[in-house]
Amino acid sequence: MRLHRRHFLLASTATVLTTVLPARAGVPGVDDARVLFGQSCALEGPARALGRGMKAGLELAFAEANAEGGVHGRRLELVSYDDGYEPEKAIANTRRLIERDGVFALVGEVGTPTSKAVVPLAVEAGVPFLAPFTGAQLLREPFRREVVNVRASYFQETETLVDHFVRGKGYTRIAVFYQDDSYGRAGREGVRRALERRGTSIAGEGTYERNTLRVKRGLVAVRRSRPQAVIMIGAYAPCAEFIRLARRIGLEAEFANVSFVGTRALTEALGAAGKGVVVSQVVPFPEDTSVPLVAAYHRALARFDGGEPGFVSLEGYMAGRLVVEALRRAGRALDRARFLKAIYEGGPFDLGGVTLTYGAGDNQGMDLVFLTELDGRGGVRPLLRAAG
């Protein structure tokens, strides 16, 4: 199966995987032996499964390249710091990575509020900001060359979810439960637009505060609207709490989440209460080894003791594979301009049945959205092959 674009290691609070060496003059993070990348993400706290998954996937791709001698004789190394999914910590980490560690590029930031906070720092410093784990539109519009997205946007995910419920099931009353910050509001706006295109509007809505489980007030507000479905824009812990409480009080509605929720973590948190919960995805099903990329991912997991397959670590692995190939195309005389030129002007990146395509004014590599459904027994099944 070939999927085309439209025209598609547990970490401590601060993990340093390399000794920071003097960079080659004029090229931060690059010397004769290695290229240094930096990551700020949630490694602890309620969103830790997301940061750890992205980090693990990146490390898999880097380990795979390093086992073959690196890229143009240089090892790929990663330094990761915990930001707890808080913008202030992400800013401090990013400054440290750019100014003290002297990284070549930033990769695998987790979340909209953290990415929103640090992108201006990266752009001002001319540092590539690669593969953030968020589908926020603010990382796509306005176009900034330093920002390179892999995944589809939240607008595309919510469009697919709304279509599933409205066209697929004939529902007319769809509510939204969302994190009260830039991430949640981005998803809510996607739902609003998708419903508006179908001649309707959000039936009801509720919110919760980031990094908390205080969902009861939002649940009461949503329940009041008597929804047939609730689209959720949040992290796995509060979304799981919402669903458990909703089922307990007898809210007769279907529940759906965007990919940021973290499917494995949500599945584990919900147990039997997860039966029928829908999650949109922006990477192929991680058990579908008929996709060459996924088969390579499984081989890397086995070779480097990378744990169990999952959607988040597969996304991190895809990001790492993009980095590796862009470094190859940029050549031995590496700098940031050549690296970004390789991404934007080097043609499509075939990662193995999954193609990322960039171009003038287009910093999003993939547009496909997949739907999956939790079975309530710890498993996840594909619900829809692909859309977009």
- Over the stretch 215-268, which tens digit does the pLDDT of each residue have? 999 999 999 999 999 999 999 999 999 999 999 999 999 999 999 999 999 999
CB 264 within 8 A of CB 311: yes
What pLDDT is stored for residue 387 in this prediction? 54
Q: Which residue's structure tokens are 């969302």? A: 178
- Asked if pLDDT for residue 9 goes beyond 60, the answer is no
Do residues 145 and 48 both lie within one domain? yes
User: Which range is least confidently modeled, 19-33, 62-76, 297-311?
Assistant: 19-33
pLDDT in tens, 207-226: 999 999 999 999 999 999 99
What pLDDT is stored for residue 23 in this prediction? 46
What pLDDT is stored for residue 26 in this prediction? 75
Total tally of structural domains belonging to the chain:
2
pLDDT in tens, 144-175: 999 999 999 999 999 999 999 999 999 999 99
pLDDT above 70: percentage of residues in the chain: 92
Alpha carbon separation from 188 to 82, 184, 384 (Å, rounded) = 27, 6, 22
Do residues 147 and 179 both lie within one domain? no
Do residues 128 and 176 both lie within one domain? no
365 inside domain: no
3 inside domain: no
Do residues 271 and 383 both lie within one domain? yes
Do residues 260 and 292 both lie within one domain? no
- Asked if pLDDT for residue 351 goes beyond 90, the answer is yes
pLDDT in tens, 60-102: 999 999 999 999 999 999 999 999 999 999 999 999 999 999 9
- Asked if pLDDT for residue 2 goes beyond 80, the answer is no
294 inside domain: yes
φ, ψ (nearest 5 deg) of residue 243: -65, -45
User: Which range is least confidently modeled, 41-45, 178-182, 379-383?
Assistant: 379-383
- Asked if pLDDT for residue 4 goes beyond 60, the answer is no
What pLDDT is stored for residue 18 in this prediction? 40
CB 270 within 8 A of CB 374: yes
Do residues 163 and 265 both lie within one domain? yes
Do residues 44 and 132 both lie within one domain? yes
Do residues 167 and 264 both lie within one domain? yes
CATH label of the domain that carries residue 18: 3.40.50.2300
Other Cβ atoms within 10 Å of 196 Cβ, number: 12
308 inside domain: yes
What is the reported pTM? 0.90
Do residues 249 and 344 both lie within one domain? no
Q: How confident is the model at residue 13 (pLDDT cuts 50, 70, 90)?
A: very low
pLDDT in tens, 117-137: 999 999 999 999 999 999 999
Q: How confident is the model at residue 25 (pLDDT cuts 50, 70, 90)?
A: low
Do residues 254 and 321 both lie within one domain? no
* Alpha helices (H) in the chain, listed in sequence order: 48-67, 87-95, 112-125, 154-166, 182-197, 216-224, 236-248, 263-270, 292-303, 311-330, 336-345
107 inside domain: yes
User: Which range is least confidently modeled, 8-17, 19-28, 43-52, 174-183?
Assistant: 8-17
What pLDDT is stored for residue 257 in this prediction? 98
CB 354 within 8 A of CB 365: no
41 inside domain: yes
Do residues 146 and 290 both lie within one domain? yes
Q: Helix or strand or coil: residue 107?
A: strand
Do residues 65 and 130 both lie within one domain? yes
pLDDT in tens, 309-323: 999 999 999 999 999
Mean of all residue pLDDT scores within the chain: 92
7 inside domain: no
8 inside domain: no
What six digits make up the tokens of 198? 């179908």
Task: Give the domain range for residue 262.
Answer: 154-281+370-387
User: Which range is least confidently modeled, 15-24, 35-44, 293-302, 365-374?
Assistant: 15-24
Of the two residues 299 and 13, the one the predictor is more confident about is 299
Q: How confident is the model at residue 1 (pLDDT cuts 50, 70, 90)?
A: very low
